[in-house]
Amino acid sequence: MAAVRFPFATIPPNTGAADRTLRGDTHRWAHDKGQSLVLERPALCLGKNSRCGRPRTWGTMDAMGVETKLEIRAISPHVGAEVVGLDLSEPLGDEVVARVRAALGRHLVLFFMDQDLSPDQQAAFARQFGEVTPAHPVIPSLEGHPEVLPIDGREDRASWWHTDVTFLSTPPLGSILHMREAPDVGGDTMWVSLQAAYDALAEPVRAMCDKLIAWHHDPWFAADVDANGGYEWDGRHHQKLYPASHPVVRTHPETHRNGLFVNSQFTRHLEGMSTVESEAILDMLYRHCQRPEFSCRFRWKVGAVAFWDNRATLHYALDDYGDDLRVAHRVTLRGDRPYGPARPGA
């Protein structure tokens, strides 16, 4: 596909205007002629209201003066996009990191194909976006790599909707999964946008959820913590795993969008409600969040990487691959304490 270049001067300086420009006449002209659009200087094509389904391409220059092309291909209206043109085993540079971070805020889960990463390279990629946590507060790490969690379908299969580690007061910002062995068929993962789910609630239900606090806990992990003598998280040793409370509606610290923040795996009850009231409301929210319209589904191949925003998504690993081998490595990024309308924060 040929590339057509437009100078940076044609793109207004604010993000919203840039988004409108690239979705306007210039972008349509390039698309209609079968050409990709390359900007000669950095520009952002990620307005929060964008619904442009066409691939978007940027050109940046690395320190050696070689152009790096970065293309974002949305795979569903609400969640999920493939990122093309990056080698995650190499440093990305500040400009590319900023674009990937912006794409993550817009699409919530990003997919990178054909990545050959060692565990150390995977952790190094993650460190460009924040502080890498221990592999898991309870489950042992990959031997020799304390930041990497091995996920082996022969030992465990997370075939339920969940957000990672919400039983802690500071759940991870995001998770990065690298597929090492994949079934020929099956073993897909689905994600849903909790922001789209929140937006689709009826106004009276949104208003109710805005006032609610939920308690999250995993009693089985708590028993493991007792048996192991504690766990490490946020740079500290914790002797016990206590329940953690989070607002039912979480405000994203970067995009400022609200989204639901409950999951059937770790959310236990709503504060100030009876068991009957709490279970009825939570069950309604779980079923609402799992609507296919809020989702995307990804078919894994060896070398694929998924990078998802743990502050605004649920995910589900399908258990439909029998005895086939499915092995992945995961690293997670340190997150902040969730806040929202019911618990204002920064």
274-305 pLDDT, tens digit per residue, is 999 999 999 999 999 999 999 999 999 999 99
Tell me the residue length of the chain. 346
Q: Given the structure tokens 């006449």, which residue do they identify? A: 25
In a domain, 37, yes or no: no
- Whether 145 is catalytic: no
3-state secondary structure of 130: coil
Would you state the pLDDT for residue 163?
Answer: 97
Q: Are 262 and 250 in contact (CB under 8 A)?
A: no
pLDDT band for position 48 (50/70/90)? Answer: very low
In a domain, 246, yes or no: yes
In a domain, 33, yes or no: no
In a domain, 324, yes or no: yes
Mean pLDDT for the chain overall: 84
The candidate with the shortest Cα–Cα distance to 260, out of 269, 248, 251, 270, is 248
- Whether 178 is catalytic: no
Q: Which amino acid is at 149?
A: L
Q: What is the dihedral of CA 206, 210, 215, 221, to 10 degrees?
A: 70
Range of the domain at 222: 76-88+128-346
- Catalytic residue (choose from 19, 27, 56, 164): 164
Instruction: Look at 197 and 18; give whichever has higher pLDDT.
Output: 197
pLDDT band for position 130 (50/70/90)? Answer: very high
- Catalytic residue (choose from 73, 157, 162, 268): 162
In a domain, 287, yes or no: yes
Q: Are 176 and 322 in contact (CB under 8 A)?
A: no
3-state secondary structure of 297: strand
Would you state the pLDDT for residue 154?
Answer: 87
User: What are 190-247's pLDDT values in tens digits?
Assistant: 999 999 999 999 999 999 999 999 999 999 999 999 999 999 999 899 999 999 999 9
In a domain, 251, yes or no: yes
* 162 DSSP assignment: B
- Whether 238 is catalytic: no
Give the lowest-confidence range in 67-76, 119-128, 137-146, 208-217.
67-76
Statement: residue 31 has pLDDT above 70: no
- Catalytic residue (choose from 78, 136, 217, 315): 315
CATH label of the domain that carries residue 327: 3.60.130.10
In a domain, 43, yes or no: no
Q: How many domains does the chain have?
A: 1
Interacting residues of 29 by C-beta distance below 8 A, sequence separation 6+: none
Would you state the pLDDT for residue 345?
Answer: 81
In a domain, 51, yes or no: no
- Whether 311 is catalytic: no
